[in-house]
Structure 1
């Protein structure tokens, strides 16, 4: 992939003081790095988006990301945030269908397709998450599960090349377990085939998410069809995140993982 992405998903961590301190330490270190070949997103909690956006102050290499949005344009939905609200404060990308939301908020594929549509309508980039459970993989259903997630969550979407996919095996999120390189390579290749046969596109970036850290990032990013990473726990520490940024910049165009 020509374009590379890295998303720091902070989930429900960091107070405003902690978030601000993190960015004040991160940004100067990024100044010394050639950032022209990748796009970096930081996805804090909703309440921190305006403050983090102000710190970015029109940055060309780092964008504001959101962890979710509502599937309706507006309405009486207490506690929810619309795509229009996010776009209005400068959000550039939105995570859609993270496994934690699929599990805890019971979000289904049809609902996610509506969210993808709303995000695209407002000029932001949706990062559609997909991935199988450990039970699905052990039962040999991992490919069928991922294919269904992608096809149904992108149902009716025409602007496919404005979408990105994040493959996150559920069993490797926040557990310390990491999919072996062969599994990552095989699934990313499979997702690429789905996107080609279903939508006729070879230009949709596919990111890997699942306990990616400074120790394994370089090997993961060297796998074919891995266009970057969706980083959870390791994005909460400046030193770790910088190391992962560096690993992405050193990504090779090889034909196999190493």
Structure 2
């Protein structure tokens, strides 16, 4: 399905008045960003592009990050196993409206979750090493992830980029190795607040996309997650219009730099303080194909609400 939409280099910009926080600790800089956000007085003009809405199945991922204990994860898995998910309607509904759902537990609980979670939900790792296993203390290999039943891995998350210090090329090579070994990749992109303020949102996202495009063998098993860093863990969420215009721009970049088919088929999901209250409006947007959820994914009933926001996509489609 094609559509005419717009994106603009200085769109819907958010402004702050605070010092440069590139090197501050993750939690404090995100909290500080969140406290300083305000809307600009007038956005710059936009330019029109032709873009296509995604044709893949609605995709929702839950990133549990460094949270949980054996007991709390047992409870969370139980809640997910008993949740009424829209995917329960099965083949009677169009493919797009049976959500594809994954969760990403901490490494030490992967085996517990893969052995106890309903098969309606697949399991993802939060990271993987750039090559085969070996003398790499603290890392986890793709072979090990596959051995315990993982189907996906999250790569390029902002906390890996801006706290751990992984660069675009390193992340791209990790994605290429994981894909070559048979894992699906949730490839994260997104800008810092000062980059958005400077009108560099698209430059940053396109540079991060190019690092994937330069090395990945195929886009068949890639989901792109747009996660503006200023919205992660801050309680601030991009408006549906702000998220949509970045998703449109990303899809247009794929069309021009990869192929029209990849642009149409690749799912582009949104992450950044998504919760049960805002997911419905976000899901209505043409190019938002699902979500990568942080804190709200630790609450079974709320995560189910987010998964079931696919029903608003039905209405909007």
Same fold per superposition (TM over 0.5): yes
1:246, 1:70 → 2: CA distance?
33
Q: Does residue 131 in structure 1 map to residue 193 in structure 2?
A: no
SS at match of 1:91: coil
What are the Cα deviations for residues 114-154 of structure 1, in whole angstroms up to 9, with x where unaligned?
11112112211101000011101110011101000110133
Considering only aligned residues, what root-mean-square deviation do their CA atoms show, in Å?
A: 1.6
SS at match of 2:314: coil
Map of 1:50 onto structure 2: 111
Partner of 1:198: 257
Offset, 1:35 = 5.8
1:165-180, aligned counterparts within 5 Å? 165-180=224-239
Give the equivalent residue in structure 2 for 1:246. 308
1:235 paired to 2:300: no
Q: 2:80 aligns to what? A: 26
Q: For the Cα contact (< 8 Å) 1:224–1:253, is it kept in 2? A: no
Shift of 1:31: 6.6
Flag the structure with more relative contact order, 1 or 2, with Cα contacts below 8 A and sequence separation at least 6: 2
CA separation in 2, counterparts of 1:33 and 1:242?
11
Pairwise mapping of residues 1-258 of structure 1 onto structure 2 (< 5 A)?
Answer: 1-30=55-84, 34=88, 36=90, 37-56=98-117, 59=119, 61-200=120-259, 201=262, 202-252=264-314, 254=316
Structure 2 runs not aligned, ≥5 long: 1-54, 91-97
Deviation at 1:196, TM superposition (A): 1.1
Tell me, what secondary structure is at the counterpart of 2:152? strand
Q: C-alpha distance in 2, partners of 1:2/1:108? A: 29
Taking a change above 3 Å as real, the CA distance of residues 229 and 23 of structure 1, as seen in their structure-2 partners, is same
- Contact 1:130/1:166 (CA < 8 Å) preserved in 2? yes
Gaps of 5+ in 1: none
- 1:116 touches 1:154 (CA, 8 Å); kept in 2? no
> What SS is found at the alignment partner of 2:185?
strand
**Residue pair 2:129, 2:141 contacting (<8 A) in 1 also:** yes
| Conservation of the 8 A alpha-carbon contact between 2:153 and 2:186 | yes
Relative to the length of structure 2, the TM-score reads: 0.77
For these two proteins, the number of residue pairs brought into alignment is 253
Query: What displacement does 1:208 show?
Result: 0.3
The one-character-per-residue Cα deviations of 1:12-33 (angstroms, maximum 9, x if unpaired) are 0000111011111221123786
Is the CA contact (8 Å cut-off) linking 1:173 and 1:210 kept in structure 2? yes
Name whichever of 108-117 and 35-44 sits farther off: 35-44
SS at match of 1:41: strand
Q: Is the 8 A contact 1:6 1:231 kept in 2?
A: yes
Give 4+ residue runs of structure 1 displaced > 4 Å after superposition: none
